[in-house]
Structure 1
Amino acid sequence: LTRPEEPQTYLALADLAAALGASDLAVVYYELALSGGWEARFGDVHEIAAVEYLRFLSQVEPQTLSNPGLAQSRRGQLAQNLPVRSADLLVIMTWNTDNTDIDLHVIEPSGEDCHYAHRTTSAGGQMSTDVTRGFGPEMYSIAKAPAGTYEVQAHYFASDRSRLSTRTKA
């Protein structure tokens, strides 16, 4: 397991397991992502992992799980503890290089830009904690999204990588 100290490792493995139809394995990796005592530099990773896990549990076919009752119970627990209970629009951004600061910006139809320095908009848009050292994630959500076009942007802010390192992708 590469980078077991990084929550994104478990989230990526959970997504991969789900895509391959290994639902029980996906549950294990989501649980590991949720239960980790992650460093503060990972921001709101527990909340974001819970959102992704809840999405998975809402979409998975119960017959693909060895214990569908446990999954249903977990789904209820996750839903109760999330500050984001429902959203018309939800954006989660991660990136592939450590010690990199990429900022998620969402420009709402009104022109208001929700980002790390303006985390709550007049329409109710919310931005998670700014992750300045790590792989993200950062999340934007809005419960009742006004109609119109939303522009999602990734602003590359900083990195301690040399020019010979891996190209950063968000």
Structure 2
Amino acid sequence: MRVVAYRLIDVGELDIAVQLFEDILEMRPEEPQSYRDLATVLAQRWENPGWRLAHPQQADQDISRAMALLHQVVFGRWDQRLSEIEVIALMELNRLMAKVDRLLPEDRLYIVRPELDPRLAGVLDVGLRIVLNWDSDLTDVDLWVTEPTGNHVFFSHPRSAIGGLLSRDFTQGYGPEEYVLKQPIAGKYAVRAKYYGSRQRTLLGPVTVKAVIFTNWAQLDETKRELTLRLDQVNDMADVGQVWIN
């Protein structure tokens, strides 16, 4: 069901994707990814200026719920195999809160902002952020980023000389895995995914991965690109895409 929802997002059918992710959350409330997926699509719908203008009350409710869902991921109690998704969700929550503060007046009736300890609040200064998710539980997919220097950043080499940092290696669950870099140097950043295998017995076949690439994270000139790819065979190393920094 997740892969269908991801495809719907790709073709702009956000209303249907929202309903699918609502259903997923109802079926799998024990998984933090269910909350994060729904938060992500609600936020994406809200970020469309035309949609906000046409549906102001629903838009306010959407962004309030998106922030609440991410807050739940950050502070919820999850299975140990899914730990550290909280760090990624906190980064995304701070981005939404900053964007709401920029775009909307504080007295909007339907906006509900979650409370955060000041030590956890604030947008990180990140010039490049790459996030990889996949659609199958109990599955090990690894994010690999090749920097312009030729250096490979991956699970056993999570830090680079230019400041690249890879999040914890998720060997089970749906991810996400995240690469961040504060000040990207000029050149090409190649994004790849390696499928190591799954502990889940399924008839669904290949694993579908979704990469989201941000530049100038949470800033006014932020850019975002989404890429979806199917991994057919265990030990596949697939080219997901690339981003050029000038």
TM-score tier, shorter chain, comes to: 0.7 to 0.9
Which structure is higher in RCO with an 8 Å CA cutoff and minimum separation 6? 1
Matched position secondary structure for 1:26: helix
> Aligned partners of 2:203, 2:111: CA distance in 1, in Å?
47
* Matched-pair contact (CA < 8 Å) for 2:84–2:168: yes
1:23 is displaced (CA, Å) by 1.2
> Aligned partners of 1:166, 1:14: CA distance in 2, in Å?
27
Task: Compare CA radii of gyration and give the structure with the larger one.
Answer: 2
C-alpha RMSD over aligned residues? 2.3
Does 2:62 align with 1:18?
A: no
Letter in 2 for 1:127: L
* Matched-pair contact (CA < 8 Å) for 1:100–1:158: yes
Does 2:146 align with 1:130?
A: no
Write out per-residue CA displacement over residues 128-163 of structure 1, whole angstroms, 9 at most, x where no aligned residue. Answer: 110001100111111111111101111111112446
Summarize the Cα distance change of 1:29–1:146 in structure 2 as closer, same or farther, 3 Å threshold. Answer: same
> Aligned partners of 1:31, 1:161: CA distance in 2, in Å?
29
* Matched-pair contact (CA < 8 Å) for 1:87–1:141: yes
Does 2:120 align with 1:78?
A: yes
Summarize the Cα distance change of 1:127–1:94 in structure 2 as closer, same or farther, 3 Å threshold. Answer: same
Which range is displaced more, 17-26 or 1-10? 17-26
1:75 is displaced (CA, Å) by 9.1
Does 2:96 align with 1:52?
A: no
* Matched-pair contact (CA < 8 Å) for 2:125–2:182: yes
Name the counterpart of 1:140.
179
Matched position secondary structure for 1:149: strand
> Aligned partners of 2:116, 2:97: CA distance in 1, in Å?
8
Does 2:171 align with 1:160?
A: no
Q: Which runs of 5+ in 2 are unaligned?
A: 1-25, 46-58, 210-246
Identity, in percent, stands at 32
Summarize the Cα distance change of 1:98–1:163 in structure 2 as closer, same or farther, 3 Å threshold. Answer: closer
Normalising by the residue count of structure 2, what TM-score does the alignment of the two structures yield? Answer: 0.61
* Matched-pair contact (CA < 8 Å) for 1:96–1:168: yes
Name the counterpart of 2:33.
8
Which range is displaced more, 28-37 or 54-63? 54-63
Matches within 5 A, 1:61-100: 61-63=103-105, 66-67=110-111, 70=113, 74=116, 77-79=119-121, 85-100=124-139
Summarize the Cα distance change of 1:167–1:65 in structure 2 as closer, same or farther, 3 Å threshold. Answer: farther
Q: Which runs of 5+ in 1 are unaligned?
A: none
Letter in 2 for 1:7: P
- Number of corresponding residues: 165
* Higher share in strand: 2
Which range is displaced more, 156-165 or 123-132? 156-165
